[in-house]
């Protein structure tokens, strides 16, 4: 079943057991079973670039590549509260768009 980006992000938020703990949000979206046609992956970097709390590196907005690498080595990626804040922000942004009939599908 193909899912929208919003549905996939909500699934990652609401069902932590479905997340790949060694991957951040973008990789989890790309690997999510609901992303059959890889359509959701097209929009994830666009959303990441819009996050007002992002650091200098849009590819690693939660804390940069060094922090991501350390978290990955320690299996603590999803223990970072900024990652969860980004996930919540992405969901809120897409929900706003859905209310405006301009949601990314």
Domains of the chain by residue range: 5-99
- Closest to 76 measured CA to CA, from 35, 19, 29, 5: 19
Q: Is the pLDDT of residue 20 over 80?
A: yes
Q: What are the structure tokens assigned to 100, written together?
A: 């405006």
More confident residue, 98 or 83: 83
The two tokens of residue 13 are: 């938020």
Tens-place pLDDT, residues 22-37:
999 999 999 998 888 7
Q: Which residues contact 67 (CB under 8 A, 6 or more apart)?
A: 60, 80
Residues 6+ apart with CB under 8 A from 55: 61, 62, 63, 64
Spatial separation of the C-alpha atoms in residues 75 and 38, rounded to whole Å: 26
Phi, psi of 18 (to 5 degrees): -85, -15
Q: Tens of pLDDT along 34-58? A: 888 777 777 888 888 899 998 788 7
Per-residue pLDDT band at 100 (split at 50, 70, 90): low
């Amino acid at each position: 079943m193909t899912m929208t980006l919003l549905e996939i992000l909500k699934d990652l938020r609401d069902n932590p057991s479905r997340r790949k703990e060694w991957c951040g949000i973008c990789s989890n979206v790309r690997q999510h079973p609901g992303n059959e046609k890889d359509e959701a992956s097209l929009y994830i970097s666009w959303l990441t670039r819009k996050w007002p709390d992002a650091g200098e590196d849009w590819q690693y907005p939660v804390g940069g590549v060094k922090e991501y690498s350390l978290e990955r080595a320690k299996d603590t990626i999803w223990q970072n509260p900024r990652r969860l804040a980004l996930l919540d922000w992405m969901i809120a942004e897409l929900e706003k768009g859905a209310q405006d009939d301009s949601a990314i599908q």
